[in-house]
Structure 1
Amino acid sequence: MGRNQFGTFMIIAPTSFFLGILFTNLPFDYPTLWTTHPPTESVLRTIESHYSHISLSPPLIPRVLNAMIILGLTGFLAKLALYSPSESNYLFDGASLILYLIALVMYGTNLVQGLRIVESGTYGEEVGRVDTLKVMGATQTMMALVLLGVLVLQAGQWYAEWKEAEEEKRIEKEQKEEREREGGKKSKKA
């Protein structure tokens, strides 16, 4: 269990980092997704300004994001391939990896494309300005749920391994007590 802790950290840290980014975008997604009235022109301009700033960020920002993505994938590789894989690894880490990849696909398709559209200001005729911003907000909400799933699965794996270790300790203790009782009976007979 101890050897997998670093791999788990390499999964949890980037996942939490991405959830933090998504959380900071929530105030800008809220008017398009969670209110009953349509957003005003000033609200739409504010949202577009926010996403334009993200799109035009210095090259260091996307590099840090890419490094975090690679760190997460490296954590999955470490837990699934480098350490002696167990059934727990295949179940929990395999499912976590699938969720992580789903989040990456949503990021690479909807968000990156949406950022480019907002930055250029060239909205399509079928999917207009408000719909583009709604798609971006919905994508980020789905990504947050998927990434929360990764954290839940990693916590579930930790709990399952902890419970298994506790059960092994209990069994060893019972076996030790049984051996001591049998040893006591043999010494009385002699």
Structure 2
Amino acid sequence: MAKSNSFATFLIIGPTCFFLGVLFILLPYDYHILWAPPSPNAPPGKTMEDYFLLQETHLKFLHASPPLVPRIQNLIVGVGLLGFIIKLYKPSEANLLFDGASLVLYMVGITVYIANIVKGLRMVTAGEYGSMELVEAEAVAGSGQVELEGTGIGREDSLRVLAASNTILALVLVGVLVLQAGQWYAERKEEDEMAEMDQKAAEKKRTASSSGSSKKNK
């Protein structure tokens, strides 16, 4: 069971780290959009509009990827789900706590990916800003920059929502890794305690047997 759990953990951590790497590649495009917007007096080539154009061009290029790329991504998502299915089959108490919470975060990440990122890529490629609804990401994009769910938003706010969605997804995936690491630590601690208890029990048994044999000799 321990070997199957270790393999299932690998199936979860592998896809999670893979998608964190993909999001890290997107960070140079999202950084200036969300965290370090240039000043109004920025030189040509480093204005806010230039960064929006860079992000927009990159997103269009991503959406125009060959069909093999999204198929591989969907396959990797499925590998992660397979890992959760294996670990949650006949679950222990630790599995229900850590893997259950990890699965919830993983599904939240899939929801953000489908509802925001995939839909946003199609919107950017079509150039139909404001015609599609995106899930609210105001908490990350900044107060007052993104409208509530169910309203049409413009080009700049749509690109901010996509950048914020990448950040939200990264935080969710980091949460999955933290929970898996916490489970590993808890199981390791439990094994050490059990081994210590067994060692103490064995020492008591040896002490009792040695004292009994010494009494017989007397």
Shorter-normalised TM-score: what interval?
over 0.9
- Aligned partner of residue 3 in structure 1, secondary structure: helix
- Alignment partner, residue 115 of structure 1: 121
Provide the secondary structure at the position in 1 that maps to 2:91: coil
* Secondary structure of the corresponding residue to residue 176 of structure 2: helix
- Partner residue, 2:44: none
Contact 2:12 2:83 in 1 (8 A): yes
Which of 1 and 2 has higher RCO (CA within 8 Å, sep 6+)? 1
Q: Distance in 2 between matches of 1:188 and 1:121?
A: 91
Per the TM alignment, residue 122 of structure 1 is displaced from its structure 2 partner at its CA by 1.1
1:135 paired with 2:143, answer no
When structure 1 is superposed on structure 2, of 126-135 and 61-70 the one drifting more is: 126-135
* Offset, 1:177: 0.3
Aligned residue identity for 1:95: A
CA distance in 2, matches of 1:142, 1:100: 12
When normalised by structure 2's length, the TM-score is 0.83
Q: For the residues of structure 1 that align with 2:124 and 2:160, how far apart are their CA atoms? A: 12
- Secondary structure at 2:58's aligned position in 1? helix
Note the C-alpha offset of 1:170. Answer: 0.3
Output the amino acid matched with 2:67: P
Q: CA RMSD in A?
A: 1.3
Aligned twin of 2:55: 47
Moved more, 69-78 or 125-134: 125-134
Cα deviation, residue 30, structure 1: 1.1
Runs of 4+ in 1 over 4 A off after TM superposition: none
Distance, in Å, in 2 between the alignment partners of 1:88 and 1:114 is 37
Q: Unpaired segments of 5 or more residues in structure 2? A: 40-46, 132-151
C-alpha separation between the residues in 2 aligned to 1:187 and 1:43? 84
Aligned length: 188
Larger proportion of helix:
1
**Structure 1 residue 41: Cα displacement:** 2.6
The normalised TM-score by structure 1 is 0.95
* Cα distance in structure 2, aligned partners of 1:45 and 1:142: 22
CA contact (8 A) 1:32 1:130 kept: no
Question: 1:45-97, CA deviations, whole angstroms, 9 ceiling, x for partnerless residues?
Answer: 2111100011110000000000000000000000001xx42101110000000
Cα drift, residue 189 of structure 1: 1.4
